[in-house]
A and B are shown apart, each in its own frame.
Chain A
Amino acid sequence: QVQLVQSGAEVKKPGASVKVSCKASGYTFSTYGMTWVRQAPGLGLEWMGWISAYKGHTNYAQKLQGRVTLTTDTSTSTAYMELRSLGSDDTGVYYCARGTAEADYWGQGTLVTVSS
Protein backbone atom coordinates (compact mmCIF):
# COMPACT_ATOMS: atom_id res chain seq x y z
CA GLN A 1 0.00 0.00 0.00
CA VAL A 2 1.10 3.57 -0.62
CA GLN A 3 2.92 5.10 2.35
CA LEU A 4 4.65 8.42 2.84
CA VAL A 5 6.75 8.52 6.00
CA GLN A 6 8.14 11.87 7.07
CA SER A 7 11.07 12.73 9.31
CA GLY A 8 10.61 13.71 12.93
CA ALA A 9 9.80 16.97 14.65
CA GLU A 10 12.31 19.81 14.51
CA VAL A 11 12.99 22.82 16.72
CA LYS A 12 14.87 25.64 15.05
CA LYS A 13 15.99 29.13 15.97
CA PRO A 14 14.89 32.13 13.91
CA GLY A 15 17.07 32.54 10.84
CA ALA A 16 17.97 28.85 10.67
CA SER A 17 17.03 26.32 8.00
CA VAL A 18 15.10 23.07 8.19
CA LYS A 19 15.04 20.09 5.85
CA VAL A 20 12.16 17.63 6.05
CA SER A 21 12.23 14.26 4.31
CA CYS A 22 9.38 12.16 2.96
CA LYS A 23 10.10 8.54 2.11
CA ALA A 24 7.66 6.94 -0.29
CA SER A 25 6.81 3.28 -0.68
CA GLY A 26 4.15 1.14 -2.32
CA TYR A 27 4.29 2.76 -5.75
CA THR A 28 6.72 3.74 -8.48
CA PHE A 29 8.19 6.95 -7.08
CA SER A 30 9.22 8.45 -10.41
CA THR A 31 5.72 8.31 -11.89
CA TYR A 32 4.19 10.80 -9.47
CA GLY A 33 5.08 14.28 -8.33
CA MET A 34 5.13 15.36 -4.70
CA THR A 35 3.30 18.31 -3.21
CA TRP A 36 4.19 20.04 0.04
CA VAL A 37 1.56 21.69 2.21
CA ARG A 38 1.90 23.32 5.61
CA GLN A 39 -0.50 24.20 8.39
CA ALA A 40 0.14 26.81 11.05
CA PRO A 41 -1.32 26.07 14.50
CA GLY A 42 -5.10 26.34 14.43
CA LEU A 43 -5.14 27.56 10.84
CA GLY A 44 -5.94 26.17 7.40
CA LEU A 45 -3.82 24.39 4.84
CA GLU A 46 -1.30 26.32 2.74
CA TRP A 47 0.18 25.02 -0.51
CA MET A 48 3.96 25.39 -0.69
CA GLY A 49 4.82 23.86 -4.04
CA TRP A 50 5.39 20.65 -5.94
CA ILE A 51 8.16 18.74 -7.62
CA SER A 52 8.02 16.17 -10.38
CA ALA A 53 9.90 13.14 -9.13
CA TYR A 54 11.23 12.12 -12.53
CA LYS A 55 12.72 15.31 -13.97
CA GLY A 56 12.76 17.47 -10.88
CA HIS A 57 10.63 20.26 -12.31
CA THR A 58 9.33 22.52 -9.56
CA ASN A 59 6.58 25.04 -8.94
CA TYR A 60 6.74 27.13 -5.77
CA ALA A 61 4.30 29.36 -4.00
CA GLN A 62 5.35 32.90 -4.75
CA LYS A 63 5.36 33.93 -1.08
CA LEU A 64 8.01 31.27 -0.38
CA GLN A 65 10.03 31.77 -3.55
CA GLY A 66 13.71 32.09 -2.71
CA ARG A 67 13.34 30.46 0.71
CA VAL A 68 12.09 26.99 -0.21
CA THR A 69 13.74 24.24 -2.23
CA LEU A 70 12.12 20.92 -3.12
CA THR A 71 14.27 18.01 -4.22
CA THR A 72 13.94 14.29 -4.74
CA ASP A 73 16.26 11.29 -4.60
CA THR A 74 14.83 8.63 -6.89
CA SER A 75 17.41 6.07 -5.68
CA THR A 76 15.81 6.11 -2.22
CA SER A 77 12.28 7.21 -3.23
CA THR A 78 12.59 10.20 -0.94
CA ALA A 79 11.43 13.77 -1.36
CA TYR A 80 12.87 16.68 0.58
CA MET A 81 11.66 20.14 1.52
CA GLU A 82 14.18 22.71 2.72
CA LEU A 83 13.02 26.04 4.12
CA ARG A 84 15.56 28.75 4.95
CA SER A 85 15.57 31.97 6.97
CA LEU A 86 12.94 30.61 9.32
CA GLY A 87 10.70 32.98 11.22
CA SER A 88 8.11 32.41 13.92
CA ASP A 89 5.33 32.34 11.32
CA ASP A 90 6.95 29.26 9.78
CA THR A 91 5.97 27.26 12.86
CA GLY A 92 3.51 24.54 11.93
CA VAL A 93 3.05 21.05 10.56
CA TYR A 94 4.54 20.31 7.17
CA TYR A 95 3.03 17.60 4.97
CA CYS A 96 4.15 15.86 1.83
CA ALA A 97 1.42 14.48 -0.41
CA ARG A 98 1.52 12.43 -3.59
CA GLY A 99 0.55 14.28 -6.74
CA THR A 100 1.15 17.68 -8.29
CA ALA A 101 -2.42 18.97 -8.28
CA GLU A 102 -4.90 17.17 -6.10
CA ALA A 103 -3.07 14.88 -3.68
CA ASP A 104 -4.33 11.40 -2.87
CA TYR A 105 -1.95 10.10 -0.19
CA TRP A 106 -0.43 12.22 2.56
CA GLY A 107 2.48 11.84 4.93
CA GLN A 108 1.86 11.91 8.68
CA GLY A 109 3.21 15.45 8.99
CA THR A 110 6.33 16.95 10.56
CA LEU A 111 6.05 19.59 13.27
CA VAL A 112 8.54 22.41 12.81
CA THR A 113 8.80 24.82 15.73
CA VAL A 114 10.70 28.07 15.30
CA SER A 115 11.60 29.58 18.63
CA SER A 116 14.47 31.48 20.15
Chain B
Amino acid sequence: DIQMTQSPSSLSASVGDRVTITCRASQGVRNYVAWFQQKPGKAPKSLIYFASSLRDGVPSRFSGSGSGTDFTLTISSLQAEDFATYSCQQYDSYPLTFGGGTKVEI
Protein backbone atom coordinates (compact mmCIF):
# COMPACT_ATOMS: atom_id res chain seq x y z
CA ASP B 1 0.00 0.00 0.00
CA ILE B 2 1.16 3.54 -0.70
CA GLN B 3 1.65 5.58 2.46
CA MET B 4 0.83 9.27 2.39
CA THR B 5 2.73 11.19 5.06
CA GLN B 6 1.53 14.67 5.86
CA SER B 7 3.42 17.36 7.69
CA PRO B 8 2.96 19.05 9.97
CA SER B 9 0.25 17.14 11.84
CA SER B 10 -0.95 20.44 13.25
CA LEU B 11 -0.09 24.12 12.99
CA SER B 12 -1.14 27.39 14.53
CA ALA B 13 -1.70 30.36 12.27
CA SER B 14 -3.42 33.71 12.14
CA VAL B 15 -5.88 35.22 9.71
CA GLY B 16 -3.95 36.51 6.73
CA ASP B 17 -1.06 34.06 7.09
CA ARG B 18 0.26 31.98 4.23
CA VAL B 19 -0.01 28.30 5.10
CA THR B 20 1.70 25.39 3.40
CA ILE B 21 0.96 21.72 4.06
CA THR B 22 3.04 18.95 2.56
CA CYS B 23 2.23 15.38 1.64
CA ARG B 24 4.83 12.78 0.70
CA ALA B 25 3.94 9.51 -1.00
CA SER B 26 5.95 6.36 -0.25
CA GLN B 27 6.18 5.76 -3.99
CA GLY B 28 5.40 7.78 -7.07
CA VAL B 29 1.73 8.55 -7.68
CA ARG B 30 2.19 10.75 -10.76
CA ASN B 31 -0.31 13.63 -10.34
CA TYR B 32 -3.10 11.56 -8.80
CA VAL B 33 -3.46 13.45 -5.54
CA ALA B 34 -6.52 15.12 -4.09
CA TRP B 35 -6.87 17.45 -1.10
CA PHE B 36 -9.84 17.65 1.25
CA GLN B 37 -10.94 20.04 3.98
CA GLN B 38 -12.87 18.70 6.95
CA LYS B 39 -14.49 20.62 9.79
CA PRO B 40 -15.51 18.95 13.06
CA GLY B 41 -18.59 16.78 12.67
CA LYS B 42 -18.78 17.43 8.93
CA ALA B 43 -18.02 15.44 5.79
CA PRO B 44 -14.81 16.08 3.88
CA LYS B 45 -15.02 18.71 1.17
CA SER B 46 -13.04 18.27 -2.01
CA LEU B 47 -10.70 21.19 -2.70
CA ILE B 48 -8.20 20.02 -5.30
CA TYR B 49 -7.80 17.06 -7.64
CA PHE B 50 -5.06 15.93 -10.00
CA ALA B 51 -2.58 17.66 -7.70
CA SER B 52 -3.34 21.23 -8.78
CA SER B 53 -6.85 21.47 -10.27
CA LEU B 54 -9.20 23.58 -8.15
CA ARG B 55 -12.73 22.34 -7.67
CA ASP B 56 -15.51 24.64 -8.85
CA GLY B 57 -16.50 27.04 -6.09
CA VAL B 58 -13.29 26.65 -4.09
CA PRO B 59 -11.67 30.04 -3.38
CA SER B 60 -8.57 30.85 -5.40
CA ARG B 61 -6.52 31.31 -2.21
CA PHE B 62 -6.24 27.51 -2.21
CA SER B 63 -3.68 25.99 -4.54
CA GLY B 64 -1.97 22.65 -4.97
CA SER B 65 1.29 21.63 -6.55
CA GLY B 66 3.65 18.71 -6.95
CA SER B 67 4.02 15.45 -8.80
CA GLY B 68 5.59 12.07 -8.22
CA THR B 69 6.09 11.80 -4.46
CA ASP B 70 5.97 15.36 -3.09
CA PHE B 71 2.87 17.52 -2.97
CA THR B 72 1.82 20.75 -1.28
CA LEU B 73 -1.40 22.51 -0.44
CA THR B 74 -1.06 26.26 0.01
CA ILE B 75 -3.54 28.73 1.45
CA SER B 76 -2.26 32.12 0.35
CA SER B 77 -4.11 34.22 2.94
CA LEU B 78 -5.80 32.24 5.70
CA GLN B 79 -9.39 33.20 6.43
CA ALA B 80 -11.44 32.48 9.55
CA GLU B 81 -13.46 29.83 7.75
CA ASP B 82 -10.29 27.94 6.76
CA PHE B 83 -9.56 26.64 10.26
CA ALA B 84 -10.09 22.92 9.71
CA THR B 85 -8.26 19.65 9.10
CA TYR B 86 -6.76 19.06 5.67
CA SER B 87 -6.04 15.63 4.21
CA CYS B 88 -4.34 14.45 1.05
CA GLN B 89 -5.27 11.30 -0.85
CA GLN B 90 -3.57 9.35 -3.60
CA TYR B 91 -5.69 7.71 -6.24
CA ASP B 92 -2.97 6.36 -8.48
CA SER B 93 -3.29 2.79 -7.23
CA TYR B 94 -5.46 0.65 -5.01
CA PRO B 95 -6.03 0.66 -2.15
CA LEU B 96 -6.59 4.40 -2.26
CA THR B 97 -4.91 5.93 0.78
CA PHE B 98 -5.16 9.14 2.75
CA GLY B 99 -2.69 11.14 4.72
CA GLY B 100 -3.16 11.43 8.47
CA GLY B 101 -4.41 15.01 8.28
CA THR B 102 -3.12 18.45 9.24
CA LYS B 103 -5.12 20.43 11.76
CA VAL B 104 -4.95 24.18 11.16
CA GLU B 105 -5.71 26.03 14.38
CA ILE B 106 -5.89 29.63 15.44
Contacts and interface: CB of A to CB of B under 8 A. Distances in A.
A8 B96 CA distance: 26
Interface stretch (B20-28, B73-81, B97-105): B97-105
Q: Which residue, A44, A95, A105, A107, has most C-beta atoms of chain B within 10 A?
A: A44
Contact of B46 (A47, A59, A102, A109): A102
Interface in A72-111: 95, 97, 101-109
B32 interface: yes
- Contact size range, B: 20 to 34
Contacts of B49: 102, 104
B93 to A, nearest CB: 10
Contacts of A46: 98
Interface string B37-48: 000001111100
A68 to B, nearest CB: 12
30 contacts: A37-B44, A44-B98, A44-B100, A44-B101, A45-B44, A45-B89, A45-B101, A47-B95, A47-B97, A47-B98, A59-B94, A61-B95, A62-B95, A95-B43, A101-B32, A102-B32, A102-B34, A102-B46, A102-B49, A102-B89, A103-B46, A104-B49, A104-B55, A106-B43, A106-B44, A106-B45, A106-B46, A107-B43, A108-B43, A109-B43
